[in-house]
Chains A and B, each alone.
Chain A
Amino acid sequence: MLRIEHLTKQYGEKKAVDDLSLHIKPGEIYGFIGHNGAGKTTTIKACCGILPFDSGEVYIGGKSIKESPLGCKSMLAYIPDNPDLYDFMTGIQYLNFVADIFGVSASRREELIHLYADTFELTEDLAQPISAYSHGMKQKLAIISALIHEPKLIIMDEPFVGLDPKASHLLKEIMRKICHEGGAIFFSTHVLEVAEKLCDQIAIIKGGRLIKSGTMEEVKGDESLESVFLELEENHG
């Protein structure tokens, strides 16, 4: 579903991402782990077509993000680490805007907005302007907006930050459900316990380079993910 091939992105002299290759298959939850400034957000933004990259390729559903950006974007949903949304819209206006852009039919959006807004307990607040939302509410709205167009691939940057425990739990369930139905999820996180419990595959990145990837068993064996991560960080220092 998402294939990253030799991705390289440079900011001036500094390589933020260096020859990174990953493959996320349909039905997989893929965790992306690394310290602050390791290159996770840059990779994610490059995959979503937000950030141009210097070399390599990113394919979504077999289409190149460089060659066919709109085709790729119509298959994916992106949830950033900081949900800066349109403060001048109400929650429902924002959801309708997203639905219009992704061409979601009236009846289907009605059904999905009802379902996810109820799930995340946001229905009553949908008439409020987004400027009145808390960080967590904005995060929930960003998640709902990502789900209502039923993407095949969801790319998330630190999706659990700002969510209350119940919403975090619900999001994890939804992530599993999407993967059961053949979708794929690629997300970055600092919460190693979440990655350990949730992910089918993980990749660890340091200084823009991939230092380990594979299934959870392949990466951590019998140890905890935390100790493996710290060890890898030290060895590749």
Chain B
Amino acid sequence: MVRVLIKKQLRELGAFLFQRGKKGTRRSGGTLVLYVLLMVYALCAVGWLFYMMAAELCEPMVNGGLGWLYFAIMGIMAIVGGVFGSIFTAYSSLYRAKDNDLLLSMPVKPSALLLARMTGTYLMSLVFTLDIMVPTILVYNIKIRTGLWMLASEILVTILISIFSLTLSCILGWIIGLISAHLKGGIKRFISVAATLGLLAIYFYVYTRVYRYLQLMVANGDRIGDTVKKTLFPVYHMGLACEGKGMSLVISAAIVLAIFGLIYFALSRSFIRIATTKNSSVKAKYREKTMRSGSQPAALLKKEAKRFTGSTVYLVNCGLGTVLFLIGAAAVIIKGDYLRGLIAQITQVFPATQEVIPLLLAASLALICSMNDISAPSVSLEGKTIWILQSMPVSAWMVLRAKLVFHVLMTAVPGLICAICSSAALGLDFADTALVALFAIAFAVFGAAMGLAMNLKIPNLDWVNEATVIKQSLPVMIGIFGSWLAVLILAGLYFLFGRIMPQLAYLAAAAAIIAAAAGFITAWIKKKGTVIFAEL
């Protein structure tokens, strides 16, 4: 039975990858290749960061007889990475699948259903674990020659780490399930957003200091090793297991599998209760109020805003740029003196830097713009409700325009605030400030148009869980990577033409190129995209 359920779970994933739209036709080979390439690129980019970290730690630690600590540290990172990769979808994948009622009405054991649900979460956790452990093992095997048994041990520990990450994600998913049953939607969303932003803040904090921590770890390896040995013996054995110590491998496996078994047993017992729980918060009663009428564009824009703010997954994954713009604006105001001092120091050593400051600022703003991909899943998110807009007396262009405008408002307005604050903090003159702001606005429109166009070309209205179209869909990935590519191309062009063009003129040209691209894509949406939307 478990095998049938897991097959169904994998088929669901396969359908998402290989099939398109309600007609169920297979995706074209090109689309699939593009998807795989983007996934590989994203994984390689993250994997490269961990490769560099591993390279920093490996040799000094192994030379100091602390090879096990190297694996222990990287292993802990892999556990955190695995949990980070699957936590955001754990609750919805485990407990909120749309076919829960159907499967629970069949002679299916809740434990079997839970195990099948865990497969999806496990795959996410495994991908993130591998992204850290593969570079770890690679660095170790390049720098220190090892045997086949040791390599096998490292692979086995990697599998154990992914199972442990899954276990932690399931525990967190379970806690979210328990809490969310007693909270109102608004409070639930607020807590989720705050928790996600908190996690990201920790991530950025650690990320910016990672090399200092690595150096500290290398310098204090003996002391850290002693502490870990005394207080975290499972971590110690995990490290030793990677170095091929058989007994440590057995101990690690026993601990991980015992914890997984225990948690699986506990979650199986509460699965039906949580999966079928309706929100028990007090229901609000409607009180009649004086109503106000609004225009069609305003109604459509309000609808987009409600869709965005009504979903934590959408809000957190596609609206991070807005938050970063506002935090950035506040940060540059608070740290203005420090920034100016830093720039003065740099320009003393490299006077040419002064000229490229507006360009660097514009590029930074563009990169933050790319973190807002609100429009990229917006067509897919219509899902089974698409009939509402299609049966209403509104043109497809009006609907799509509302999606574009909402994205632009959410990106360009905070982007403009950040551009002005940053320019003021950096002491840019009016012309530079105006061009930086124009560039940021053009990039916001470009991002909105590209994301929407991609979603019209590759829509998915048949999702079971909205997280799949928000987090893992091709339009979202193309939206983000396409924006990065645009910044890279503009940077490349600067190296080609920067010498013959003053930076002010280059920035103006770059803003014009991006604005033209945005205009071209918007015109395509108006002409072809509207036809696609009407026929979805």
Contacts and interface: CB of A to CB of B under 8 A. Distances in A.
Given A104-B293, A114-B288, A78 B279 contact: no
A100 B290 contact: no
Interface string B268-303: 000000000011000111111011111110111011
Interface stretch (B141-149, B191-199, B392-400, B409-417): B392-400
Contacts of A132: 278-279, 283
Contacts of A103: 293, 296
Contacts of B284: 127-128
Interface residues of B, number: 38
Main secondary structure of the interface of B (DSSP, over half): loop
Contacts of A104: 293
B291 A101 contact: no
Interface stretch (A15-23, A87-95, A188-196, A220-228): A87-95
Contacts of A109: 291, 293
B295 A48 contact: no
Interface in A72-98: 73-74, 76, 78, 80, 82, 84-89, 91-93, 96-98
Contact of B310 (A71, A88, A126): A88
Nearest to B25: A12
A129 B394 contact: no
Interface string A147-166: 00000000000000000000
Given A78-B387, A114-B288, A132-B278, A89 B306 contact: yes
A182 interface: no
A128 B279 CA distance: 12
A70 interface: yes
Given A49-B390, A80-B387, A86-B388, A101 B299 contact: yes
B286 A124 contact: yes
B296 A50 contact: no
Contact of B384 (A74, A84, A128): A84
Contacts of A85: 385, 388
B290 A127 contact: no
Nearest to A108: B293
A102 interface: yes
Contacts of B290: 106, 110
A64 interface: no
Task: Kindly name the residue among B286, B299, B311 whose own CB sees the greatest number of chain A CB atoms within 10 A.
Answer: B286
A221 B298 CA distance: 53
Contact of A106 (B285, B286, B291, B384): B291
Contact of A73 (B285, B384, B391): B391
Nearest to B382: A86
Contacts of A128: 283-284, 286
Contacts of B300: 101
A80 B395 CA distance: 20
B286 A126 contact: yes
6 contacts: A50-B387, A52-B535, A78-B387, A103-B293, A128-B283, A128-B284
Given A73-B391, A84-B387, A123-B286, 16 more contacts: A48-B390, A49-B391, A50-B390, A52-B534, A52-B535, A73-B392, A84-B384, A86-B303, A86-B307, A97-B302, A100-B294, A101-B296, A103-B296, A106-B291, A110-B288, A132-B279
